[in-house]
Structure 1
Amino acid sequence: LAAAAAQEFGSDESLEVKFKVQALIYPVLQALDFYTPSYQQNQAVPILYRPYMARFWLQYLGADAALEPLLLANNHSSLDQPAIGAVTRSRLNWTALLPAERRKHYQPVVREKGSPSVVSTVPGLTDVRASPLLAEQGVLGKTPKAYVMTCEFDVLRDDGLMYARRLQDAGVDVTSDHYDDGFHGCMVFANLPLMSSVGRRSMD
């Protein structure tokens, strides 16, 4: 929501007051690819399992929970989906946006044929107000300087890394903090009785 709000406020020329910064802490930024390297690597890593994210997206968008298997298979973003063109796909093309150390040995999962009716049923899946990573470069360039925190053991890691890269490409000043031993929600574990080293460091 912070990224989406920054885009909306940045693009509204009628506003006299603008945001000074956008702070994105292990952000959720897209729902078209559930096979990014971080989704593949961390699909069964607590506390945010891969199936949970598909379920949460459907709940957030008020959609039928029965669509969860289609999202998890990337059937909703298949190549026969007319609502998702080449330009949109390029905005979350992790083979180009992620460094080699994050891509690792993982391969993209892009279906030739899938379930194109899903996006027409749930249009929010391609709405930039829900998926800020899909915004065009001109919109990103109008957003304020950004702080982006990502964690290695988090399905959302690559969403944040790709967004940071796209912001930088748009000329936005970005400060990125990546925790190699971090996990989703680690900031919660900054204090006793459930204190962790990475949780403490993430709050410093």
Structure 2
Amino acid sequence: AVLSRDEMRLQAVAVTVSLTVALAYYVYVPLPHAIQEPWKLMLLDATFRTTRHLVRREMLWLETAVYPEELKVSDITFAGVPVRVYEPPAGGEGHLRRGLMFFHGGGWALGSEKGAYDIVNRMLSDELNTVVVSVEYRLYPEVQFPAPYLDCLAAAKHFLSPEVLASYAIDPERVAVSGDSAGGNLAAAVAQEISVDDTVRVKFSVQALIYPVLQALDFNTPSFLDNQNIPVLYRTLMVRFWLQYLGLDLSLQPDVLANNHSSLDHSNITRELRARLDWTLLLPPRHKKGHKKVIVEKGSEGTATEVPGLLDVRASPLLAGPEVLAKCPRAYILTCEYDVLRDDGLMYVRRLQDAGVTVTNDHYEDGYHGAFSFIVWPFDFELGQRVVRGYFNWLKNNL
């Protein structure tokens, strides 16, 4: 039958309404009232979810114009690892500059030193007169743990050699290591190794960790449970990143979400190791929020034995012993209230402090994961500007 004009109009309206409702349903995520610019965050999250399987290295960010024009940017290699070096204009004779090595985030599977990270590193190099080295470590699926860590460690040792520091006119007493999310994991692990390696003469002066990933044994901390559905890092996505990084089958996700992989029958997960990430002891009272620790008596057989990376401090820096932490450099740890990784960072703050390390915890009560990168139009957020500015200010005063 041929539809009348009115029937066609009604059909078009129905289709439009249906598509609008479907789009709103896809985009909408319930968010806490404290989060500012909620619809903007929902749209960003929807974009990430739509393109995550298509976009790997650029993570939606486009290469930007040089900032500032007099900054020298070089794409070279350190110990065979690709790096991007940002050099501010040279000062007067004998004038030494700060140095900073940066590892980008992205779950060891996404991202690069370009885009939003490129903008932040250019700004930092210019404003703080700092030689910044951003490391392009290898990513999943080409590699798994420990390859990204080994790339970052090799680049760090090369950077810290007196000859290289001298060639860039960097003060060896003012060199930082930094990173966000999975990059914060790599920065913490590299900082630990450099601190205890007697063959490395120059050590990092400070470490700046931005909502770092620090452990893979407990995915039922208060922040993992309370923020499991907060964009852009969902609890299930963080577990997926870990499974990929450690070479575990993705079908194990339900077991890992239930903490079956770290059950009490794993004899090689000692009581001492468990205490190093026991949030009931390490978190401030206000973040426990009445939660109870999820402890499984008998879980997945052999996981901890078959996957040694699960207990490797190079993958989970929170598992490091107090004798290692005591040698670590002064720390800046940025945490966000609405982030599944909040408690990883807060526990590391406490453990470093207990080991005698001076720590600044910059906690954003309205913050969420990824804010450090949300400074590029059209996904530029006021929170992102504050987070980056706080990071700059701490480095300015402490590096």
Residue 80 of structure 1 aligns to a residue whose secondary structure is coil
The one-character-per-residue Cα deviations of 1:70-116 (angstroms, maximum 9, x if unpaired) are 11110011111111010000000000100111111211101111114
In the alignment, is residue 50 of structure 1 matched against residue 235 of structure 2?
yes
- 2:264 is matched with which residue? 79
Q: Quick one: which of 173, 194, 216 aligns to 1:31?
A: 216
> In the aligned structure 2, how far is the partner of 1:117 from the partner of 1:88?
17
- 2:346 is matched with which residue? 161
Output aligned runs, 1:171-182, within 5 Å: 171-182=356-367
TM-score (norm 2): 0.50
> In the aligned structure 2, how far is the partner of 1:167 from the partner of 1:5?
15
Residue 244 of structure 2 aligns to a residue whose secondary structure is helix
> In the aligned structure 2, how far is the partner of 1:3 from the partner of 1:23?
9
Output aligned runs, 1:1-204, within 5 Å: 1-204=186-389
Q: Contact 1:191–1:200 at 8 Å: present in 2 too?
A: no
Residue 3 of structure 1 aligns to a residue whose secondary structure is helix
Unaligned runs of 5+ in 1: none
Q: Contact 1:91–1:133 at 8 Å: present in 2 too?
A: yes
CA shift at 1:53, angstroms? 1.2
Paired residue type of 2:372: M
Residue 13 of structure 1 aligns to a residue whose secondary structure is coil
Structure with the greater relative contact order (CA < 8 A, sep ≥ 6): 1 or 2?
1
> In the aligned structure 2, how far is the partner of 1:100 from the partner of 1:93?
13
> In the aligned structure 2, how far is the partner of 1:165 from the partner of 1:177?
13
TM-score (norm 1): 0.97
Residue 352 of structure 2 aligns to a residue whose secondary structure is helix
The one-character-per-residue Cα deviations of 1:172-202 (angstroms, maximum 9, x if unpaired) are 1111100010000011223432222221110
Instruction: Tell me the number of residue pairs that the alignment of Structure 1 and Structure 2 aligns.
Output: 204
Q: Mean Cα displacement is larger for which, 139-148 or 194-203?
A: 194-203
Paired residue type of 1:91: R
> In the aligned structure 1, how far is the partner of 2:247 from the partner of 2:297?
27
> In the aligned structure 2, how far is the partner of 1:154 from the partner of 1:22?
21
Q: Mean Cα displacement is larger for which, 191-200 or 125-134?
A: 191-200
> In the aligned structure 2, how far is the partner of 1:150 from the partner of 1:125?
23
CA shift at 1:56, angstroms? 0.5
> In the aligned structure 2, how far is the partner of 1:174 from the partner of 1:88?
22
Q: Contact 1:82–1:116 at 8 Å: present in 2 too?
A: no
> In the aligned structure 1, how far is the partner of 2:268 from the partner of 2:251?
21
> In the aligned structure 2, how far is the partner of 1:115 from the partner of 1:82?
13
Paired residue type of 1:159: D
The one-character-per-residue Cα deviations of 1:41-71 (angstroms, maximum 9, x if unpaired) are 0111111010111110111112211221111
